[in-house]
Amino acid sequence: MRRRSPMAAVLVLAALAPALVSAGPDRSAPSRADGRKLLVELNREWGKARVAFDRPAFERMLAPDFYVQMPDRRIARKEFLDEISSPSPRTRLTRFDVEVLTVEPVGESGDEWVAVIAEKLELAPADGRPKAYSLWVTRDRWKKLGGRWMALSSEAIGSELWRNGEKPPVRDW
Model confidence at 158: pLDDT above 70: yes
| Domain CATH for 38 | 3.10.450.50
Q: Which domain holds residue 157?
A: 30-162
Q: Is residue 132 part of a domain?
A: yes
Residue 16 forms part of a structural domain: no
Q: Looking at the predicted structure, is the pLDDT value of residue 60 above 80?
A: yes
Please report whether residue 88 resides in a domain. Answer: yes
73 assigned to some structural domain: yes
- Is residue 69 assigned to a domain? yes
Whether 9 is covered by a domain: the verdict is no
Mean pLDDT along residues 77-87 = 95
Res 93: pLDDT: 92
Residue 148 has pLDDT above 90, yes or no: yes
Residues 12-25: tens digit of each pLDDT: 334 444 443 334 44
Does residue 114 belong to any structural domain of this protein?
yes
Mean per-residue pLDDT of the chain: 85
pLDDT score recorded for residue 29: 60
Number of domains within the chain: 1
pLDDT bracket for residue 28 (50, 70, 90): low
Task: Indicate if the alpha-carbon torsion angle 48, 50, 56, 59 is positive or negative.
Answer: positive
pLDDT digits (tens, 9 = 90+) for 90-123: 999 999 999 999 999 998 788 999 999 999 999 9
24 assigned to some structural domain: no
